Structure 1
Amino acid sequence: MKNHRNSSAPVRIALAHLLALREGQDRVEWGRIRAAQLFAGRRLALFMLGANLIAVAALIVLLSRWIDLVRLGFWGAATAMIAGVAAYRRLRSHRGQDGFASLGDIRVTAYEGLALAAAWSAVPLWLCHLAPVAAAPGTGIILALLMTAAAFTMAPLILATLAFVVGLGGTIAIELAIDGKLPAAGGVTVFSLLLAAICIGRAGSLIALRAAEMALEERDETVSLLLREFEESGADWLWETDAARRVVKANPRFAVACGLDPVSINGMPFLQVLAGPSWQTGDFAPGLRQLSEKLKSRQSFRDLRLPVHVHGEERWWELAASPRFDDRGGFSGFRGVGSDVTEQRSAADKINRMARCDTLTGLPNRLSINETLVRAMVEADKWRGRCAFMMIDLDRFKAVNDTLGHQVGDRLLGRVAERLAQLMGENAMCGRLGGDEFAVVVRDAQDLTLVEQLARQIIETLSRPYEMDQHTLHIGASVGLAVGPRDGNTAETLIRSADLALYQSKDAGGGVFHAYEPRLHAQAEERRVLEQALRKALEKGELHLAYQPVVDAASGSLKGFEALLRWNSAEFGNVSPAKFVPLAEEARLIGPIGDWVLRTACDEAARWPGHIRVAVNVSPEQLHNPHFVTTVASALANSGLPAERLELEVTESVFMHEGLGATKVLERVLELGVRLSLDDFGTGYSSLGYLSRTKFSTIKIDRSFVQGAAKGISEAVAIIHAVVALARSLGMTTTAEGVETEAEQRMVQEFGCSKIQGFFFSRPLVVEEARALAMRGAREAA
Structure 2
Amino acid sequence: MLAANITGAIATLWLLRPWIAAWQLGLWAAVTLTIAGVVAHRRHSTRHRQNGYASLADVRNTGLEGLALGFIWSVVPIVFCPQTAPGVAAGLGIVMAIMMTAAAFTMAPLVLATLGFLLVLGLALIGRLAFEHNFAASAGFSVFCILLVAICISRARGLVALRAAEIALGERDETVSLLLREFEEAGADWLWETDKGRRVVKASPRFAVACGLDPITINGMPLLQVLAGPNWDSGQFAAGLHELAGRLNGREGFRDLRLPVYVGGEERWWELAAAPRHDERGGFAGFRGVGSDITEQRASADKINRMARYDALTGLPNRLLINETLGRAMAEAEKWGGRCAFMMIDLDRFKAVNDTLGHQIGDRVLSRVSERLAQMMESGTLCGRLGGDEFAVVVPDVKDEDALLHSAQRIIDTLSRPYEVDQQTFYIGASIGIAIGPRDGEDAETLIRSADLALYRSKDAGGGVVHAYEPQLHAQAEERRLLEMALRQALEKGEMHIAYQPVVDAETGNLGGFEALLRWQSTEFGAVSPVKFIPLAEEARLIAPIGAWVLRTACLEAARWPGHVRVAVNVSPDQLQNPHFVTTVASALANSGLSPERLELEVTESVFMHEGLGATKVLERVLDLGVRLSLDDFGTGYSSLGYLSRTRFSTIKIDRSFVQNASRGEREAVAIIRAVVALADSLGMATTAEGVETEAEHRMVQGFGCTKVQGYYFSRPLPVAEARALVQKRYDSRAA
- TM-score using structure 1 length: 0.38
Q: Which has the higher contact order (CA 8 A, sep 6+)?
A: 2
- TM-score using structure 2 length: 0.40
